[in-house]
């Protein structure tokens, strides 16, 4: 389907294993009996072939990449070898990892990677033990937090950490505590998701007891629960969208701490409510307009306008620093451009 020129500029989805041993009831992988690996030598051979054809951007769809540490290390070594062979021809790898399973051997491997190569997607979903038990999610919260903190402090991996709003048994106050706890760990992005009813998943068993109301149309998003009414759920949906535009985008790296202060969820919810009241929109908001709105909201909150201008100016300067990175990639066809968001976070 694709020639070598296509492959060299596309993100390739690959998997070294299939299935998941965990039974989180909101996930399609809960229907799997276990996880099973593919033949590792054959898999690495296929990676070698793809790399030889020019592939440099790899996204692993394995649900539990770090389940088998020996296999994880061999796969990471493949990428380290490519980097060592030609540092001017970088690769990029995205892995989904289990947050509470990061043994020392894996940490040592992760520490060898330079910036801009590794991206980890880490599922927390909820820090509430009672909610975790309801949806059959086994997770050591303390160990998970410790590992995220370690990754932020001692590795160059870019971290996407997931939370889900609307899980049975979780109210807004509980979700807010989890959000603030996660933000304090300082991952690069918090992926704020809204619960969806995936076909066949056992989450449906909680419908009556916890008042779960799902949209009858795809993607079957949760509309309300017995703890979160429809109006509040829509506020959370807007929060997620604005969080993506402002925080996850990397465009407001200097201004974001001022926005969030010491109560990140509460402050950003206040900004989210104000943005929607002011614009009646969550999409098609130009960056210049969004920056102006953020400045206006901070001024209304009593922040010093001069300090706000300086921070927003630093953020705009950070956007211009990405130019050389993109130009370098464009002039060297063998060198793929970093995903835009990661480039922004690196430039901040």
What are the residue ranges spanned by the domains of the chain?
1-228, 238-348
Higher pLDDT, 183 or 34: 183
**What pLDDT score was predicted for residue 187?**
98
In this structure, the strands spanning 189-194 and 222-224 are unpaired
Q: How confident is the model at residue 320 (pLDDT cuts 50, 70, 90)?
A: low
Q: What confidence category does residue 322 fall into, taking pLDDT thresholds of 50, 70 and 90?
A: low
pLDDT at 341 over 70: yes
Quick check: 58 and 12 in contact, CB under 8 A? yes
Region 144-159 average pLDDT: 98
Q: Supply 231's token pair.
A: 């109006």
Residue 168 phi/psi, 5-degree rounding, is: -60, 135
**What is the reported pLDDT for 344?**
83
**Mean pLDDT across 34-52:** 95
Residues 263-277 as b or e (16 or more Cβ within 10 Å = b): ebbebbbebbebbbe
Query: Is the pTM value of this prediction over 0.85?
Result: yes
**pLDDT (mean) for 141-164:** 98
- Under CATH, what is the fold of the domain 1-228? pyruvate-formate lyase- activating enzyme (3.80.30)
Query: What pLDDT does residue 133 have?
Result: 98
Confidence of residue 21 (pLDDT cuts 50, 70, 90): confident
In degrees, to the nearest 5, what angle opens at C-alpha 160 toward C-alphas 156 and 43? Answer: 75
CA pair distance 254, 275, nearest whole angstrom: 19
> Which of 19-23, 29-33, 135-139 holds the top average pLDDT?
135-139
Q: How far apart are CA 332 and CA 42, in angstroms?
A: 30
pLDDT in tens, 274-318: 999 999 999 999 999 999 999 999 999 999 999 999 999 999 886
Residue 57's SS3 state is strand
Residue 328 pLDDT exceeds 70: no
Residue 189 phi/psi, 5-degree rounding, is -140, 140
Between CA 347 and CA 116 the distance in angstroms is: 11
H or E segment and range at residue 163 = strand 158-165
Read off the pLDDT of each residue in 74-103 and give the average, rounded to a whole number. 96
At CA 328, angle to CA 327 and CA 334, rounded to 5?
A: 120
Q: For residues 261 and 22, which has the higher predicted lDDT (pLDDT)?
A: 261
Residue 233 has pLDDT above 80, yes or no: yes
Mapping DSSP to helix (H, G, I), strand (E, B) and coil, where does residue 125 land? strand
């Amino acid at each position: 389907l694709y020639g070598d020129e296509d492959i060299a500029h596309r993100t390739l989805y690959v998997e070294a294993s299939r299935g998941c041993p965990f039974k989180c009831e909101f996930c399609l992988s809960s229907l799997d009996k276990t996880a099973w690996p593919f033949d590792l030598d054959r898999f690495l051979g296929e990676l070698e072939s793809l790399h030889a054809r020019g592939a440099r951007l790899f996204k692993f769809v394995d649900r539990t990449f770090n389940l088998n540490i020996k296999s994880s290390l061999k796969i990471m070594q493949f990428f380290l070898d490519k980097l060592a062979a030609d540092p001017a021809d970088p690769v990029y790898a995205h892995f989904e990892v289990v947050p509470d399973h990061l043994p020392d051997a894996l940490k040592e491997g992760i520490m060898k990677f330079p910036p801009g190569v590794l991206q980890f997607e880490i599922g927390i979903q909820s820090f509430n033990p009672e909610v975790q038990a309801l949806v059959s999610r086994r997770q050591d919260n303390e160990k998970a937090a410790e590992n995220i903190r370690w990754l932020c402090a001692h590795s160059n991996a870019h971290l996407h950490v997931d939370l889900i709003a609307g899980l049975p048994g979780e109210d807004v106050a509980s979700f807010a505590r989890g959000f603030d706890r996660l933000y304090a760990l300082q991952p690069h992005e918090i992926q704020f998701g809204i619960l969806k009813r995936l076909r066949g998943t056992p989450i449906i068993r909680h419908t009556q007891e916890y008042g779960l109301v799902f949209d009858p149309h795809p993607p079957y998003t949760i509309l309300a629960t017995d703890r979160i009414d429809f109006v509040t759920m829509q506020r959370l949906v807007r929060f997620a969208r604005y969080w993506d535009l402002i925080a996850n985008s990397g465009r407001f790296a200097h201004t974001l701490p001022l926005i969030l202060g010491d109560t990140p969820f509460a402050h950003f919810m206040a900004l989210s409510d104000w943005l929607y009241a002011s614009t009646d929109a969550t999409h098609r908001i130009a960056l210049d307009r969004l920056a102006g709105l953020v400045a206006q909201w901070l001024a209304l909150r009593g922040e010093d306008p001069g300090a706000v201008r300086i921070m927003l100016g630093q953020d705009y300067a950070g956007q211009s620093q990405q130019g050389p990175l993109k130009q370098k990639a464009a002039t060297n066809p063998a060198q793929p451009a970093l995903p835009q968001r990661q480039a922004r976070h690196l430039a901040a």
